[in-house]
Amino acid sequence: MSVGRRLLRVTSLAAALGVWQLLTSLDVNLWLRFEHFPTVGEVAAAFADRVGTAPYRQDLGHSLRRIVVGFLLAAVAGVAVGTAVARSRWAADLLGPLVEVVRPVPAIALVPVAILLLPTNEQGIVFITFTAAFFPVVVSTRHAVRALTPVWEEAVLTMGGGRLRVLFSVVLPGALPGIFGGLSVGVGVSWICVISAEMISGEYGVGYRTWQDYTIVDYPGVFVGMATIGALGWLTSTAVELLGRRATSWLPRPAARGAADAPRPASRGAGIRAGTAEPAAAVRTAVPRKEPVP
């Protein structure tokens, strides 16, 4: 990213904070009421007082552990179920209806179910986090697998590859962009639901602490919690995006502005040989073409 773009992003954030400080310091009360809002300075002072304390670190640890455990379980299960539904008629008939019926139910609405089924609140919050991320991953994986071109699979089968080789050499690598799209959405939804679950039934965590600050009318503390949630969500989403770029580095990237006419290198992932990634010509030559009849 260029220095100009970085500067523009920092300027945008600084301008938003400046508008916030101006509206709250002047106690603006038009249609929106800012007289009860804490100023940026008050929130910064509350954050400075809290950031180094043991309760703050404890809350961060609990929330991050719940997100990591629930999200990793959802990633593994979601990719497996999405791939099975897309590739198997039996799985589509058995699991597809269940996914479509349960998917519209908000994950936070499953809090009573988690309380009834699971022995501890901690397990219930992890279950809510898992459910929130599971369905975006399933749907994205299913669509990504179904969108793959059949010629890649036919090339592997022609060269003697079996079903497992097709799965790990064609299906999963080809569906990676769609899978990581679902993971990126899933981690954001997971943060929404884990914070809500902590507010309802948690004992520790950023959501629990934010709700406690609200009940004792500590509005700067509430905004400290909101800022912490936003920062954690941004960091985890960025981590998933960077991991996705690394895992799909073989894909061609859009050319930068001004370099559109430059020759673009051939993609190493355009064609798939059994167990390896080969140039596109390998796929084209793997399937014999019919000669035109004179």
Across 95-101, average pLDDT: 90
pLDDT one-digit tens code per residue, 119-145: 888 888 999 999 999 999 999 999 999
- Lowest mean pLDDT: which of 4-18, 86-100, 152-166, 234-248? 152-166
Across 99-107, average pLDDT: 89
> From CA 122, how far away is CA 30, in angstroms rounded?
43
pTM: 0.77
Q: Are 61 and 239 in contact (CB under 8 A)?
A: no
* DSSP structural state of residue 32: S
- What pLDDT, on the 0 to 100 scale, is given for residue 130? 94
- What pLDDT, on the 0 to 100 scale, is given for residue 4? 83
In the chain, % of residues over pLDDT 90: 37
Across 72-95, average pLDDT: 92
Q: Which letter, b or e, does each residue of 121-154 get, where b requires 16 or more Cβ atoms within 10 Å of its Cβ?
A: bbebbbbbbbbbbbbbbbbbbbebbeebeeebbe
Using CB atoms within 10 A of its CB, is residue 192 exposed (0-12), middle (13-18) or buried (19+)? middle
